[in-house]
């Protein structure tokens, strides 16, 4: 039975690498945010708007406890998931946890390439974005760094870079 949970800042490549790693290891891939949206039939933004951050974080914790019981999975968590309640300790008990670590510059490039709407980033130029990410990372790194493994992520801008990252990640996890 294999469980791998990927954590890290938005834009680190949790979904991109998670899907590719799951495929490579013949495991199911779950994205916690997508799972929440599917279960509640609402977007994360709608849940935030209706219930506030605390309400969302309670839902997120409950859905984390549900999905982290699944067997033979790669689970990608939202950037804030490890930072609330006992989520990080729980994830470490349930799975091999991997912090996908990237510089603010790499995160900015990934987020610029992403087709996903990120409400927190709207209207920010690259300099403002890098500053925002740097400040957020300072707060979140103490949680992220509690993962079993740290994997430095470079630019995941083409299939070859993604394949190389998956190969290295597999070696790190000894899978």
What's 3-170's CATH class? alpha beta
Here the tokens at position 129 are 């974005």
pLDDT score recorded for residue 134: 96
Local confidence band at 157 (pLDDT 50, 70, 90 cut-offs): confident
Give residue for tokens 């209207």.
123
pTM for this model (two decimals): 0.95
Here the tokens at position 131 are 């500053």
Identify the H or E element spanning 95: none
Answer whether residue 119 shows pLDDT above 80.
no
């Amino acid at each position: 039975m294999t469980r791998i949970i990927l954590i890290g800042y938005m834009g680190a490549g949790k979904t991109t690498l998670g899907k590719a790693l799951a495929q490579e290891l013949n495991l199911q891939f779950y994205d916690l945010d997508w799972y929440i949206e599917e279960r509640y039939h609402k977007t994360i933004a709608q849940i935030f708007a209706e219930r506030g951050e605390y309400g969302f974080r309670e839902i997120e914790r409950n859905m984390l406890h549900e999905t982290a019981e699944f067997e033979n999975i790669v689970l990608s968590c939202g950037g804030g998931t490890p930072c609330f309640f006992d989520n990080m300790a729980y994830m470490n008990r349930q799975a091999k946890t991997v912090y996908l670590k990237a510089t603010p510059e790499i995160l900015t490039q990934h987020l610029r390439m992403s087709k996903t709407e990120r409400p927190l980033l709207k209207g920010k130029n690259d300099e403002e974005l890098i500053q925002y990410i740097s400040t957020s990372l300072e707060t979140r790194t103490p949680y992220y760094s509690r993962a079993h493994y740290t994997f430095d992520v470079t630019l995941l801008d083409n299939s070859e870079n993604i394949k190389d990252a998956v190969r290295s990640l597999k070696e790190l996890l000894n899978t």
